[in-house]
Structure formats: structure tokens, C-alpha cells
Amino acid sequence: MEIVSVRNLKKSYGKVQAIRNLSFDVNEGEIYGIIGPDGAGKTTLFRILTTLLLANEGAATIDGLDVVKNYKQIRKQIGYMPGRFSLYPDLSVEENLTFFATIFNTTIQENYHLVEDIYKQIEPFKTRKAGKLSGGMKQKLALSCALIHAPKVLFLDEPTTGVDPVSRKEFWEMLKNLKKHGITILVSTPYMDEAILCDRIALVQDGEFMQVDTPQNIIDSYSETIWSVKSDRMHRLLQDLRDCPWVKTTFSFGETYHVTAKEKATVSQLETFLTEKGYRDIIIKAIHATIEDCFMSLTQKKE
């Protein structure tokens, strides 16, 4: 059953169309990832859904409630963690959490089971002012504050931006645990490797969803032939691959290049081409696309 429903949503800032005619549904209890770069419209969408911004056209409901008419009821039922740290820097860790519990007419004790896993990691510092916390601790406090009133739907706007890979992994573990409590989570991120941790994802660019599906289905629907290519002299290889008649696109992926091949091209053709150019230690493998390959392919189709 869908708990978030969006129909023909549009929002412009002057000439800039931040959201272009978006329609989608989020099912109850799922982790729904909105994946795309800065400027794609992620924050605008979150602000509309959390009743903080009015759309120009279209409609959206949260648990059947309209984001414009029923905004007061919606605010009781959602939790929102904005991209920018928005807690009170001059209040202590505990005071911040108490404050958010109180304005929602509840107490820390009442919903402690929801935040326990996260909050207990910062509880040793509960008398420290929030402004004096490190980045990772701020993130955990912000998540605790967004959860303390037991919301049905949680909106997390780029919770892992600027966070190192290990802490990002830990954060996703926390989200998986929250899912067990039945909370629906909408989360936005510019990191493509996080897509795989969501139940469903929307790949977003320029205010439009390019594709919406499970990560696996998106990977399976990738239609190009894709190879990873490696050799000596990697630096020069990039240009030669781009000039190669069998190759459509070449992008660097860590220590290899991901190459999409033209129709009917074969691995041995490319190998011959590179051998004739004098490359050694050539390794060409047929691979499965990653979400990042899918994203790049979709943006290029659009252009």
C-alpha cells in the first residue's frame, strides 16, 4: 500500500524548473532512495512533501493527507532530517532530544526503543552542546531528533553527504534497523553506491525521474554491452579507447575503464585494436553494469 503519493508535481524558481511534472508512489515500510547530483531537485521535493514549501502545480499526499490542506496533521506523522544541520547548537545533546520530544507531546522514555540503537552511541556525551559535536555525532543526534515522536514516514535529505565511506556504511545499517520498526524511509543521496541498499530507487536529474525501480531491475534493464578494460599505460588508454571504432563510451571506474561497445563488436576485436596500438597486459572482461553505469547511460540518452 502506498503511503506517499505524488501526482504531476511542478515547482519553479523563476525560470529554473526545479521539479518537472513528477508522479510517483512510495509503499509503506520501504526504503525509497532518491539518487542524483546536486541541483537535481531532491531538496525541493523533500520540502514540498514535508509541507515546508508549496508546489506550483500538482498534488501530494502522505498517508492519505494532502500536503497543503492537512499540513498540520502531516507534521505530526513525519520526521525530517534536512541536509544542513538544523538542531540548536547552544542546547546540549539531551536538551535537543527532550525539546523535540516535548514539542510533539511525548517523552524520550516513551519512544526510547526507536532511537536506542542510535542514541546510545552519543549518550556518553549527552551534556555536550550540540554545536560542539563532530560531524558523525551531529548526524546521529539529528536522526534521533527526527525519530523521537515515532513518525510513520522519515525524510532524510542527503544524510551521508561529506561522510567517509565507513561512517556511511554504519549509517545505512541504522536505517535497515529502523525499517524493522515499520517506518517508511525516503532518503536522498548523491552517492550511487548507496542505491543498492534501498528497496526501490528513483534516478533523478534536472527535476525528472529518469527511472524508478528496484536496484536489481534497473541493473537488469541496462541494455548496453559493457566491458571493463585494463592495460599498461592507463592514462593514454583513455584517449585510444575513445578513438576506437568499436567503442561507444569510455568512463574511468577506479583502476579500470568501463567501455560500452557498439553493436556486434566483440572482445577480441577490441583486444586486437589495442594490441596493434602497442598496449600490453590487456585485460578485457564482460561485466554487469553498476547503478552508476545505468545513471550515466540514462543521462546521455536524455541529451
- x-marked contacts with other proteins along 235-274 as a string, rule CB under 8 A: x--x------------xxxxx-------------------
Name the E strands within the chain.
Answer: 2-13, 16-27, 31-35, 57-62, 65-66, 78-81, 153-157, 184-189, 200-205, 208-213, 225-230, 247-253, 256-261, 283-286
Residue type at 86?
A: S
Question: Which CB sits closer to other proteins, 63 or 158?
Answer: 158
Helical pair 93-103 and 112-122, crossing angle rounded to 10 deg = 160
User: Is residue 58 a contact point for other proteins (CB under 8 A)?
Assistant: no
**Cross-strand partners of 260:** 226, 249
For residue 232, the minimal CB distance to other proteins (Å) is: 12
Decide if residue 161 touches other proteins (CB under 8 A). yes
In this structure, what C-alpha cell is assigned to residue 222? Answer: 541496462
Among 8, 27, 39, 69, binds other proteins (CB under 8 A): 39
Nearest to other proteins of 75, 119 (CB atom): 119
Give the nearer residue to other proteins in terms of CB position, either 240 or 292: 292
User: From the CA atom positions of the chain, what is the Rg in Å?
Assistant: 23
For other proteins, the binding residues in 74-103 under the rule CB under 8 A are none
3-class DSSP assignment, residue 302: helix
Residues near other proteins (CB under 8 A): 36-40, 121, 134-137, 140, 161-168, 170, 190, 192, 205, 235, 238, 251-255, 292, 295-296, 299-300
